[in-house]
């Protein structure tokens, strides 16, 4: 077989985590070459470089250095640069991950050039107007391979008339989480560095636009986390966007313990050691479930309904969890291999 070239587009923190197991599976498979493109959406070392090292992702072949600005400007600048790269590289397929502006830019650039697209984490819906919902729905619409993390995602696509090229493969973040948990237990020192005892603290993250871009919304979220400190200390690795918003709106964090963003290894260790998770992140809601930690989602909707149905996650507007049950919604920890098997068979 002639060698086939896959161009993968990553840019933001959760995409590095998703791309890691897929890159690994791709490298292990004969006949496929990967060209990794980093849009530059996340650029601080603790938001990007550290992830590449720990997750053993090869250095990107292209670093586009595009970040900041409005959503349209950021996505547009990425498209201009990605189109050039795709024209030069002539890939047989493009892989995009999740629902960030980098995802949409990669998908639209490839679609205009008629390069077939594989969307890893296809079919999720929160039924809201969040920027991520726009990104994921449009990306699904132009993708040839829709790699779904859950059976529910397959149903969502079917409701929108998408049944061709739809595959339930499981969640690549589950693959990554399994890979990292053992390593975090063996080598992370974050609990000792922060002086935390396992089981005696809560882990929080807060960065989504709906919570950070409006003073009242951010004040509400901060108040919620501050109130939670009455139960156990709350450790909050602070996204740069949230840090800037807190300062800009003149808010105080009260008893919340803010720390700099942490690497994926350290995040896994914090998750493994905490008593509860409080977050507006999509990824962390799931990772909390993978490690069977109760989670409160600081949002009014979630695209990860299964974690709520399983009784481990609740939206902050709901006082109680549903009864706990085991669900097998996220696959068997080999989602990335399935993605690569399907691509290799069809290219």
Catalogue the active-site residues. 207
- For binding to ligand UD1 (CB under 6 A), which residues are involved? 12-14, 41-44, 47-48, 67-68, 99-101, 131-132, 207, 240-241, 281
In the chain the beta strands, taken as DSSP E runs, fall at 4-10, 32-38, 62-63, 93-97, 117-120, 145-148, 166-168, 202-205, 234-237, 257-259, 276-279, 295-297, 313-315
SS3 123: coil
Supply the minimum distance, in Å, between the C-beta of residue 324 and ligand UD1. 27
Determine the Cα–Cα distance for residues 28 and 140; give it in Å rounded to an integer. 27
Supply the minimum distance, in Å, between the C-beta of residue 271 and ligand UD1. 16
Q: What does each C-alpha distance from 176 to 51, 57, 151, 331 come to in angstroms?
A: 12, 12, 19, 12
Residue (52 or 116) nearer to ligand UD1, CB: 52
Supply the minimum distance, in Å, between the C-beta of residue 261 and ligand UD1. 8
Residue (165 or 237) nearer to ligand UD1, CB: 237
Supply the minimum distance, in Å, between the C-beta of residue 44 and ligand UD1. 4
Q: Tell me the HSE value of 240 on the side-chain side, using a 13 A CA sphere.
A: 12
Residue (268 or 281) nearer to ligand UD1, CB: 281
Residue (18 or 207) nearer to ligand UD1, CB: 207
Residue (286 or 338) nearer to ligand UD1, CB: 286
Residue number with the smallest Cβ distance to ligand UD1: 100
Residue (151 or 240) nearer to ligand UD1, CB: 240
Determine the Cα–Cα distance for residues 141 and 325; give it in Å rounded to an integer. 33
Determine the Cα–Cα distance for residues 219 and 5; give it in Å rounded to an integer. 48
Pairing of strands 145-148, 93-97: unpaired
Q: In what order do the strands lie in the sheet with 62-63?
A: 62-63, 32-38, 4-10, 93-97, 117-120, 145-148, 166-168
SS3 302: coil
Residue (72 or 323) nearer to ligand UD1, CB: 72
Supply the minimum distance, in Å, between the C-beta of residue 99 and ligand UD1. 6
Supply the minimum distance, in Å, between the C-beta of residue 115 and ligand UD1. 22
Other CB atoms within 10 Å distance of the CB of residue 84: 13
| DSSP codes, 256-288 | -EEE----HHHHHHHHHH-SEEEE--HHHHHHH
Q: What does each C-alpha distance from 99 to 35, 279, 326 come to in angstroms?
A: 20, 17, 27
Question: Which of 206, 117, 178, 160 minimizes the C-alpha distance to 336?
Answer: 178
Supply the minimum distance, in Å, between the C-beta of residue 215 and ligand UD1. 17
> 4: alpha, beta or left, given left = phi > 0 and alpha = psi -120 to 50?
beta
Q: What does each C-alpha distance from 194 to 86, 226, 258, 262, 329 come to in angstroms?
A: 44, 19, 11, 11, 34
């Amino acid at each position: 077989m002639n060698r086939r070239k896959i161009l993968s587009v990553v840019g933001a923190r959760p995409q590095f985590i998703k791309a890691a197991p897929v890159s690994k599976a791709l490298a292990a498979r004969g006949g496929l070459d990967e060209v990794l493109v980093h849009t530059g959406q996340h650029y601080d070392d603790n938001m990007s470089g550290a992830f590449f090292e720990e997750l053993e992702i090869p250095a990107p072949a292209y670093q586009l250095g595009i970040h900041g600005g409005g959503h349209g400007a950021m996505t547009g600048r990425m498209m201009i640069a990605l189109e050039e790269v795709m024209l030069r590289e002539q890939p047989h397929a493009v892989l995009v991950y999740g629902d960030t502006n980098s995802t949409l830019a990669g998908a639209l650039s490839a679609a205009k050039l008629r390069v077939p697209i594989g969307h890893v984490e296809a079919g999720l819906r929160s039924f809201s107007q969040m920027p991520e919902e726009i990104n994921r729905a449009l990306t699904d619409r132009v993708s040839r391979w829709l790699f779904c993390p859950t059976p529910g995602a397959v149903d969502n696509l079917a409701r929108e008339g998408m049944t061709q090229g739809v595959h339930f493969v499981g969640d690549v973040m589950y693959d990554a989480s399994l890979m990292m948990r053992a390593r975090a237990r063996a080598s992370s020192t974050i609990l000792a560095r922060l002086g935390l005892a396992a089981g005696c603290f809560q882990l929080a993250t807060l960065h989504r636009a709906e919570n950070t871009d409006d003073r009242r919304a951010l004040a509400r979220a901060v108040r919620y986390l501050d109130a939670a400190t009455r139960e156990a200390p709350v450790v909050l690795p602070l996204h740069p966007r949230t840090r800037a918003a807190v300062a800009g709106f003149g808010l105080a964090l009260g008893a919340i313990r803010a720390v700099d963003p942490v690497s994926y290894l350290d995040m896994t260790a914090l998750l493994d050691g905490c008593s509860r998770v409080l977050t507006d992140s999509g990824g962390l809601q799931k990772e909390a479930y993978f490690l069977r930690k109760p989670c409160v989602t600081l949002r009014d909707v979630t695209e990860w309904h299964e974690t709520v149905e399983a009784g481990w996650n609740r939206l902050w507007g709901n006082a109680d969890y549903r009864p706990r049950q085991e669900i097998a919604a996220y696959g068997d920890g080999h989602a990335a291999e399935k993605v690569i098997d399907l691509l290799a068979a069809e290219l």
